[in-house]
C-alpha cells in the first residue's frame, strides 16, 4: 500500500508509521518502506539512516537487495523498516536515464520475500516525481491521507490523474483503495465541512475512522516511537487503531469475496 499525496505535511508519514505499528500490534507482519529522502518514517521507527549507509537509495540506484537493508524495529516484534537517507534526494535525477526507471522498487520487492509480509506500506515524498511513481508501480493500493484544512482538495485531481497514468502504463492492479482524513479539529466548522466534502466525493473509499489533531501524535516521533506505543490511550492512537482495523476488515472481505 502506497501512502501518497504530493502535498507536504498532510500526515503521510504519521499515517504510514502508525498504521504499520497498529497492524503489527495485531500480529500482522508489516514492512514500512521509507521512500522520502527526509527519512521521517525511519526516524519515527527508530531505524538508523545516516547519509552514506545502505538504504533504499542503493536498492533503487545500485540494485542492492532489499533484504540487506530491512531492519527490525526495536521493541516492535512484527514491524520492519527499510530506511531512507538524504542520498535518496539524488535518486529522483539519477534514475532518469536508467532502464526501467519507474519499476525499480517493484523489481526490488519482487526479488524480496515480500510474501512473508502481510502488509507493506510505502511512505512517499511530497512530490509526484519518480520516487512516488516507483511507489505506485510497486503497490496494489494507494492510501491518500487528506488533511482536514482549507486547500485540502487542491492537487487531488492531479494525484488521481497520476494514479490513472500508472495504472494505464505500469501497474494494472493499482487502485485508490483508501482515503484517510487526518488532523481533524472537531472545534472548527471548516474541518467538518472538508470531511463532508471528501465523503460526498469519494464515498466508501473514505475510512469511517478520522484522525484527530493531537499533540501526542506529533510528539511520538521525537521519542523514536509511534503514538501506538508512546501513548496507547490517546485519541490519536485509538483513531489509528480503528483505521487499521477497518483496513484489515476490508482486506478480509476482499479475500472472502
Ligand atoms: P507528511 O509526511 O505528509 O509530510 P507528516 O506525517 O510528517 O506529514 O505530518 C506533518 C506534521 O504534522 C508532523 O509534524 C506531524 O507530527 C504532524 N501531525 C501529523 N498528524 C498529526 C495529528 N493527527 N495531530 C497533530 N499533529 C500531527
Ligand atoms: Mg512525510
Give per-residue pLDDT as tens, 199-247: 999 999 999 999 999 999 999 999 999 999 999 999 999 999 999 999 9
Q: How far away, in angstroms, is 14 Cα from ligand 2 center?
A: 7
Q: What is the CATH number of domain 2-256?
A: 3.40.50.300
Mean pLDDT value across residues 27-42: 97
Task: Kindly list the protein residues whose Cβ atom lies closer than 6 A to any atom of ligand 1.
Answer: 8-14, 40, 126, 182-183, 211, 213-214, 217-218, 236
**What are the strands of the beta sheet with 206-212, ordered from one edge?**
71-72, 79-82, 30-34, 119-123, 2-3, 141-147, 175-184, 206-212
Residue 257 pLDDT grade (very low, low, confident, very high; cuts 50, 70, 90): low
Tell me the residue ranges of DSSP E strands in 164-216: 175-184, 206-212
* Cell numbers at 70, concatenated: 530491512
Q: How far away, in angstroms, is 7 Cα from ligand 1 center?
A: 12
Q: What residue's CA is closest to ligand 1, atom 11?
A: 9
Q: How high is the pLDDT of residue 202? A: 95
Q: How high is the pLDDT of residue 254? A: 80
Q: Where are the domains of the chain?
A: 2-256
Report the predicted TM-score, pTM, of the whole model to 2 decimal places: 0.97
- Euclidean distance between CA atoms 225 and 76, whole angstroms: 10
| Paired residues of 122 in beta bridges | 2, 33
Whether 212 contacts 239, CB under 8 Å: yes
Q: How far away, in angstroms, is 8 Cα from ligand 2 center?
A: 7
Whether 100 contacts 94, CB under 8 Å: no
- Euclidean distance between CA atoms 25 and 18, whole angstroms: 10
Task: Single out the residue of 75, 69, 68 nearest to residue 24, CA to CA.
Answer: 75
Give me the chain's average pLDDT, please: 95
For the chain, give the longest Cα–Cα distance: 51
Helices 130-138 and 156-169 sit at what angle, rounded to 10 degrees? 60
Amino acid at each position: 500500500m502506497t501512502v501518497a499525496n504530493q502535498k507536504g505535511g498532510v500526515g503521510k508519514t504519521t499515517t504510514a508509521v502508525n498504521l504499520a505499528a497498529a497492524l503489527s500490534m495485531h500480529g500482522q507482519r508489516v514492512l514500512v518502506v521509507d521512500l522520502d529522502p527526509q527519512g521521517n518514517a525511519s526516524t519515527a521507527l527508530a531505524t538508523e539512516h545516516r547519509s552514506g549507509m545502505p538504504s533504499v537509495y542503493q536498492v533503487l540506484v545500485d540494485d542492492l537487495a532489499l533484504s540487506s537493508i530491512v531492519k527490525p524495529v526495536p521493541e516492535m516484534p512484527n514491524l520492519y523498516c527499510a530506511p531512507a537517507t538524504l542520498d535518496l534526494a539524488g535518486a529522483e535525477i539519477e534514475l532518469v536515464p536508467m532502464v526501467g526507471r519507474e519499476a525499480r522498487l517493484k523489481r526490488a520487492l519482487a526479488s524480496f520475500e515480500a510474501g512473508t509480509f502481510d502488509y507493506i506500506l510505502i511512505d512517499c515524498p511530497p512530490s509526484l516525481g519518480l520516487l512516488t511513481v516507483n511507489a505506485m508501480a510497486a503497490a496494489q493500493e494507494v492510501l491518500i491521507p487528506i488533511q482536514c484544512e482549507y486547500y485540502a482538495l487542491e492537487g487531488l485531481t492531479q494525484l488521481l490523474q497520476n494514479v490513472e497514468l500508472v495504472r494505464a502504463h505500469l501497474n494494472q492492479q493499482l487502485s485508490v483503495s483508501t482515503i484517510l482524513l487526518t488532523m481533524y479539529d472537531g472545534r472548527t466548522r471548516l474541518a467538518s465541512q472538508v470531511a463532508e466534502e471528501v465523503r460526498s466525493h469519494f464515498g466508501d473509499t473514505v475510512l469511517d475512522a478520522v484522525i484527530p489533531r493531537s499533540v501526542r501524535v506529533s510528539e511520538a516521533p521525537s521519542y523514536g516511537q509511534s503514538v501506538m506505543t508512546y501513548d496507547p490511550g490517546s485519541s490519536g492512537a485509538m483513531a489509528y487503531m480503528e483505521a487499521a482495523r477497518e483496513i484489515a476488515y476490508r482486506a478480509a472481505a476482499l479475500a472472502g469475496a
